[in-house]
């Protein structure tokens, strides 16, 4: 049986950090029309990461532009201060960085109580053991395959082994949880990342690119998984 019939092809989450934010509505609609599964929104505060990106008003604008699930990635310190507001703004999945949470177990409960799916992100230097005590509470584990803060970086190859170790942990305690991988993902490396255990692929510059349409970029990913 072909590999892609044993496990579903990964879901695709275009990151609007790479989109033309001056035409956000159009860019998001193009992603939806092209077959994206989520819209990934990278929120950066200039403290947890050395970049400032977008925040609550942009989540609200994205909510008006699409019915796709909004996958909000909080690269901010003290994310517990903002969970309810991102939920009200329209987030469906809220992912916080484990490194930014003093009381991570409580913050995940807070996300669920706000009516959202709960995700925990691991930076490249953070060991899988950091989610051992909370793995059973998660809908998504986000494995960062670049150091967070910017799009257009190169995929860190050791992420493949880490994805496999996260998958082994989740299979033992929370098999329904998905692994989302984020950073440096292109059609060229997407299949190997999926084979390692990824269920959701985030892509920014590989989808919102001046060289080709959003639809063609998404098609380039989809074609990787047709056996």
User: Site residues (CB under 5 A) for Zn ion?
Assistant: 42, 73, 182
The set of residues, in sequence order, having a beta carbon less than 8 Å from that of 15 and lying 6+ positions away, is 40, 41, 42, 151, 182, 202, 203, 204, 207, 208
Counting contacts by CB under 6 A, is residue 184 touching ligand DX5?
A: yes
**List 69, 79, 151, 197, residue binding ligand DX5 (CB under 6 A):** 151
Residues 183 and 202: their CA atoms lie apart, in Å, by 7
216 is catalytic: no
Six-digit token pair at 104? 């991570």
42 is catalytic: yes
Residues 28 and 33: their CA atoms lie apart, in Å, by 9
Count Cβ atoms below 10 Å from residue 44 Cβ, excluding itself: 21
SS3 state at 20: coil
Q: Which residue is nearest to Zn ion (CB)?
A: 73
Six-digit token pair at 83? 């969970």
SS3 state at 199: coil
Q: Which does residue 90 bind out of Zn ion, ligand DX5, none, counting CB within 5 to 8 angstroms by kind?
A: none
Count residues binding ligand DX5 (CB under 6 A). Answer: 22
**List 9, 18, 83, 111, residue binding ligand DX5 (CB under 6 A):** 18
**List 10, 12, 15, 117, residue binding ligand DX5 (CB under 6 A):** 15
Binding mask 37-56 for ligand DX5 (x = CB under 6 A): ---x-x--------------
| Interface contacts to ligand DX5, rule CB under 6 A | 15, 17-18, 40, 42, 73, 75, 146, 148-149, 151-153, 182-185, 202-206
């Amino acid at each position: 049986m072909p590999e892609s019939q044993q496990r579903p092809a990964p879901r695709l989450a275009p990151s609007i950090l790479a989109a033309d934010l001056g035409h956000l509505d159009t860019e998001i609609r193009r992603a939806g029309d092209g077959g994206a599964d989520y819209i990934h929104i990278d929120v950066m505060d200039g403290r947890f990461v050395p970049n400032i990106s977008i925040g609550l008003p942009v989540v609200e604008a994205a909510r008006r532009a699409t019915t796709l699930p909004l996958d909000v990635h909080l690269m901010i310190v003290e994310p517990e201060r903002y969970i309810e507001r991102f939920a009200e703004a329209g987030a469906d999945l809220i992912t916080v960085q484990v490194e930014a949470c003093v009381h991570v177990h409580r913050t995940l409960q807070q996300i669920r109580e706000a009516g959202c799916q709960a995700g925990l992100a691991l930076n490249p230097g953070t060991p899988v053991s950091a989610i051992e005590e909370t793995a059973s509470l998660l809908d998504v584990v986000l494995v960062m395959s670049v150091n967070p803060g910017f799009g257009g970086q190169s995929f860190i190859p050791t992420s493949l082994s880490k994805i496999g170790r996260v998958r082994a942990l989740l299979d033992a305690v929370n098999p329904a949880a998905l692994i989302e991988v984020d950073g440096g993902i292109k059609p060229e490396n997407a299949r190997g990342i999926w084979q390692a255990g990824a269920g959701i692929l985030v892509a920014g510059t590989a989808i919102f690119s001046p060289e080709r349409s959003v639809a063609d970029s998404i098609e380039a990913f989809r074609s990787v998984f047709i056996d």
